[in-house]
Amino acid sequence: MSHKKNILCIGAGYVGGPTMAVIALKCPGIRVTVVDINEEKIARWNSDDLPIFEPGLDEIVREVRGRNLFFTTDVFESISQADIIFVSVNTPTKSFGLGAGAAADLQFWEKTAHQIIEHSEGPKIIVEKSTVPVKTAEAMQRILSSNKKGIHFEVISNPEFLAEGSAVQDLLQPDRVLIGSLQTESGRKAAAELVDIYAQWIPRERILTTNLWSSELSKLVANAFLAQRISSINSISPLCEKTQADVGEIARAIGADSRIGTKFLNASVGFGGSCFKKDIMNLVYIARSYELHETAEYWEMVLRINDFQSRRFVNRVIRELFHTLVGKRIALFGFAFKANTGDTRESPAISVARHLLEEHARVVITDPKALENARIDLADVLDRVELEEDPYRAAAGARALLIVTEWDEYRRLDYEKIHASMEKPAFIFDGRNILDHQALHRLGFNVFPIGKPALTHYA
Ligand code: NAD
Ligand code: UGA
């Protein structure tokens, strides 16, 4: 089948893979290619063992791969054939030099600009899919315009709002798609081309067009607002623990106000994921660079509360287990940063596990999808950590269970059997408030939820 348009995506990660699979599914007339420098990743995208786990993704990839979706490492060929290039490479926090620990590291991003110049023979639309600092398109446009071949590249912004674990659903039915372009004739034309692609399955009123800089900044601000809600409710959780209030009841009461809304009010051991922290640090860095110190400090507090919350969680474990964890087996239920993904980037489980090891606890970790990544994250301490697929075996002989990821299966375990296999007194610290705390208490557990009264068998 010959295709009317060729789309290329540079970067076959958590965003590039699923996003392109859905475009290929919904736009059979478009040939979609995804390229990555990581050969092993591309080999897995071309196999039955995809490099990422996302509910519903396997089925879509199986349907479209080889039809109009292709994964390759051939950067040269794929750039030269593309009409539209999505850049979806990683933009992590800079770990060295100016802005280390705060600014976005744009080295992968810039490299793609040079690759595009080198391998292009004609005009192309370049779509910023990665999350980037506001004004990145200006730099990209400047690099691309420096090409000696006289080729016109139009850079537009199309940030991605999918969440891991629900990526396919989010892509099929997004709340909105955002497209930002320069308000020039060629800018508007490029934006309209992208609108036409998304309009093949998304209602037009959900496709928002705006100027480039508003689009770039909206992405950082969206993540900052989402994270801020979690830090806001988490900041209230210790106050609940001191006053016998229940953070779940507070979320219910305030969430009923339609101006506040119910979502993202689950108190937890802290938010994780590859983006909230890095994007807020980036926002803070940008604000500081414009000398907007109050703006910077305001958003910085969202991160401080998040660190406070995960540290507080472990401190409570230490305190309740009689101020020493030495030699005690502690089972972490969950290592992924959230349920329904194997991704562990910035997972609160990493810092929780490391703090427990600092206290010389014997740490055992179970997770349905994330043990492969846990092995990498904890490579330097693996001799002191046990990774166990079966939660029952993980719990056996443990003094305490720590619920770190909100996997549904943890709600359905046989906690009577688990209690019988544990050292006594047995403790559960529910870092996600997903279990039936009263029922666990009746089974004999000492139960410590987040932001709710503890249920213990001692005064
Ligand atoms: P990722 O690390 O999973 O994937 C990025 C991929 O880009 C990697 O496979 C890497 O090998 C590849 N790459 C880097 N340089 C390359 C080059 N020059 N040529 C070809 N391939 C190259 O990252 P991700 O999670 O998909 O995130 C990508 C971007 O999207 C980031 O800016 C992130 O902030 C943003 N984002 C992520 C999510 C998410 O849920 N993960 C959601 C929305 C936005
Ligand atoms: C988040 C945003 O939700 C996406 O819109 C955005 O595209 C993405 O970041 C990104 O830019 O990378 P993601 O990190 O995949 O998506 O997952 P979320 O569902 O937002 O969860 C983030 C963290 O917050 C998880 O650790 C989750 O467990 C935690 N969380 C979430 C809470 O602790 N409480 C809540 O009420 C909600």
What is the per-residue pLDDT across 288-307, written as a single tens digit (0 to 9) for each? 999 999 999 999 999 999 99
- Helix (H) / strand (E) element for 33: namely strand 30-35
Residue 458: pLDDT band with limits 50, 70, 90:
confident
Q: 428 CA to middle of ligand 1, Å?
A: 36
Where b means 16+ CB within 10 Å and e means fewer, 136-148 reads bbebbbebbeebe
What kind of fold does domain 5-202 have according to CATH?
Answer: Rossmann fold (3.40.50)
Q: What is the pLDDT, as a whole number, of residue 50?
A: 97
Q: What is the pLDDT, as a whole number, of residue 6?
A: 96
Q: pLDDT tens, 273-287?
A: 999 999 999 999 999
The CA angle 135-140-146, to the nearest 5 degrees, is 135
The protein residue with its alpha carbon nearest to ligand 1, atom 20, reads 36
Q: Is the pLDDT of residue 315 over 90?
A: yes
131 CA closest ligand 2 atom index: 11
Cis bond before residue 425 (omega within 30° of 0): yes
Q: What is the pLDDT, as a whole number, of residue 459?
A: 73
Q: What is the pLDDT, as a whole number, of residue 4?
A: 81
Quick check: CB of 266 below 6 Å from ligand 2? yes
Best residue among 162, 274, 347 to mutate for probing ligand 2's pocket (most ligand atoms within 8 Å of CB) is: 162
Best residue among 40, 140, 177, 275 to mutate for probing ligand 1's pocket (most ligand atoms within 8 Å of CB) is: 275
Catalytic, 275? Answer: yes
Residue 102: pLDDT band with limits 50, 70, 90:
confident
- Ligand 1 pocket, Cβ-based, cut-off 6 angstroms: 10-16, 35-38, 41, 88-91, 108, 111-112, 130-131, 160, 162, 164, 274-275
Higher per-residue confidence, 106 vs 178: 178
Compute the average pLDDT of residues 226-247: 97
Calpha distance 353→363 (Å, rounded): 7
Domain layout of the chain by residue ranges:
5-202, 242-459
Name, in order, each residue with C-beta under 8 angstroms of 364's C-beta and a sequence gap of 6 or more. 329, 330, 331, 332, 385, 386, 387, 388, 394, 398
The protein residue with its alpha carbon nearest to ligand 2, atom 10, reads 275
Q: Which of 92, 93, 80, 94 is nearest to 33 (CA)?
A: 80
Q: pLDDT tens, 2-52?
A: 668 999 999 999 999 999 999 999 999 999 999 999 999 999 999 999 999
Residue 94: pLDDT band with limits 50, 70, 90:
confident
CATH assignment of 242-459?
3.40.50.720
Q: 223 CA to middle of ligand 2, Å?
A: 8
**Range in 135-139, 150-154, 200-204, 364-368 the model is least confident about:** 135-139
Compute the average pLDDT of residues 247-257: 98
Q: Is the pLDDT of residue 242 over 70?
A: yes
Q: What is the pLDDT, as a whole number, of residue 391?
A: 98
Q: What is the pLDDT, as a whole number, of residue 1?
A: 54
Calpha distance 303→279 (Å, rounded): 11
Q: Would you say the CATH fold of 242-459 matches that of 5-202?
A: yes
Calpha distance 325→338 (Å, rounded): 26
Average per-residue pLDDT in the chain?
96
